[in-house]
Structure 1
Amino acid sequence: MSFAPVVPFGGYAGWSFLTRTMEAQKQAFTQQASVQRDTDYFREKIGSVKTAEDLVADRRLLKVALGAFGLQGDINSRFFIQKVLSDGTLDNTDLANRLANKSYYELASAFAFDLATPSTQISTFADEIITAYRNRKFEEAVGTVSDEMRLALNARRELEKLAGKQSSDNTKWFTILGSAPLRSLFQTAFGLPKSFAAIDLDQQLGTMQSRADRYLGSREVAQFADPARVGDLIKLFLLRSQVQQVASISSGAAALTLLQNAQPKNLLSRLA
């Protein structure tokens, strides 16, 4: 029997419950037979993998490897993934460096098949990938209950990593804008419409920075190295998301009332 994460409330109350019970829920989730089979197999076999070709040839290993980076949708794109992995990341022309989705860069960098000794030969590597895989799988399961909670979990994981990277602040903001889950969370948290994505990219950057300064007290992505600041962002996102949902329900109810008042009773009886 599969375990489904428990999120009994919506909005910030639901997030508070989820964070309080996170460790217990994660443990129950990862103890499922299917998850254990995947991770046990990965731990046992990954040490025998020395090339990108070795990895993509074993579908069970590839499932965990891709799942750890949120790329499980590419499980059937073996030649593409092999190219990403075998190229590596050391040269600007390497495929992972040219793809907009930086998860491919993280995948190639983690396995390091372009180095003399790939990461698969390091004793701690299996546990690192398994931990990432379990976290991603748990987030997916949470998403089946609440997409807002999944976006919040993704932000908590990704923003801490992004904040610590040795790159310019503008580059970090462009990374956020290029990530669909992070963009969605920030746009909602900052009260920006869906049409925001259609304006000039430099304008998007400026708006994000000014809104961050207005709502969080700093325009820099480096602030998210502080878990408390990430928590403030998530709280803002969930509260605004709830407001939008209530407004949508209220608008729908108002529209229904207008429709009912405008329609002849005999038509309403046929619609009922």
Structure 2
Amino acid sequence: MSYTPVIPLTGMAGWQFLQRTADTQKATFNQDVQVRRETEYFLEKIGEVTSVDQLMGDRTLLKVALGAFGLEDDLSKGAWVRKILEEGTEASDAFAMRLTDRRYRDFSGTFGFGNILGARTGDEGFGDLIVQKYKDHMFEVAVGEVDNSMRLALNYANSLQSLVDRGLGENAAWYTLMGDQPLRTVMEAALGLPDKLSALDVDKQLVFFKDKAASVFGSSALGDLLSEDNVEKAIRIYMAKVQAEAGPSASTPGYAALSLLQGGTASALSSAGIANLLLSRA
């Protein structure tokens, strides 16, 4: 990809800039020559694909198909991808159903090759759906190459929404979140949980997550955490932690004053002090 997203600031200031410019930057990204070539080709050809062999035999089609589900790193894993597609998702022992990564069953189920009704590639709107998912994901990837914390923030609300939409029980949903590292990273920061929490028994981890969620957000129900205010709060706290760990910069609110108070350097401030300052100004 030749277009690089513009994120001139770090932390919350950078996130707010990205939010304000996201639509324009996405539109520019989508006009990238490579993105256009791949997605236009996919839209033209995917309706003719009726078998796993056909999809596997066209590298560009397979690249877009996998990328739409965040599985672009599996492009060279032919036997792995074929098994996922051919076995479908209707049998409990199907390969995709036995993998802990939910993306594989979503990928296999969406294309439908291994299921009773067969390929869904000819369904109305199928190509548009996959292309939009591909564009959204690849934009997130491009953002992550500039600042990975911004990619995690972009992913947070969408991944949480997808998790809630699955209709799992409350504990099952939390266990799934705890196993989703990008989502967990933002949630742990938002709840003020230590990284070493993962060393505990998973049931004990669940208690910590739910108790802290109720304290920070007023509810431990993931559906309630999807409110606009709670999503903004989670990302604000996460970004404050990221910037605190990175140390103060010229974009840190009050940086000039802090520099003067520290005799010309703000680097002596503790991470906790910087985080508190950022949260008070956000």
TM bucket (normalised to shorter chain) is 0.7 to 0.9
Gaps of 5+ in 2: 249-261, 269-282
- Which residue is 2:157 aligned to? 156
- Which residue is 1:103 aligned to? 103
1:163-182 correspondence to structure 2 within 5 Å: 163-182=164-183
What amino acid maps onto 2:59 in structure 1? Answer: R
Gaps of 5+ in 1: 255-272
Contact persistence 2:189–2:238 (CA under 8 A): yes
Offset of residue 122 of structure 1: 0.6
Distance 1:50 1:228, change over 3 A: farther
TM-score (norm. length: structure 1): 0.87
The CA distance in 2 between the partners of 1:244 and 1:174, in whole Å, is 27
Q: Which has the higher helix share?
A: 1
- Which residue is 1:189 aligned to? 190
Offset of residue 150 of structure 1: 0.3
The CA distance in 2 between the partners of 1:222 and 1:96, in whole Å, is 27
**CA RMSD, aligned part only?**
1.9
What amino acid maps onto 2:80 in structure 1? Answer: F
Detail structure 1 runs of 4+ shifted over 6 Å in the superposition.
none
SS at match of 1:21: helix
Contact persistence 1:164–1:225 (CA under 8 A): no
Deviation digits for residues 197-246 of structure 1 (CA, Å, limit 9, x no counterpart)? 11111111111111111111110112244343222211121122222333
1:164-243 correspondence to structure 2 within 5 Å: 164-243=165-244
The CA distance in 1 between the partners of 2:112 and 2:229, in whole Å, is 33
Offset of residue 38 of structure 1: 0.6
What amino acid maps onto 2:20 in structure 1? Answer: R
The CA distance in 2 between the partners of 1:188 and 1:225, in whole Å, is 16
Number of residue pairs matched by the alignment: 251
Offset of residue 117 of structure 1: 4.1
**Within the alignment, does 1:35 sit opposite 2:35 as a pair?**
yes
Contact persistence 1:163–1:224 (CA under 8 A): no
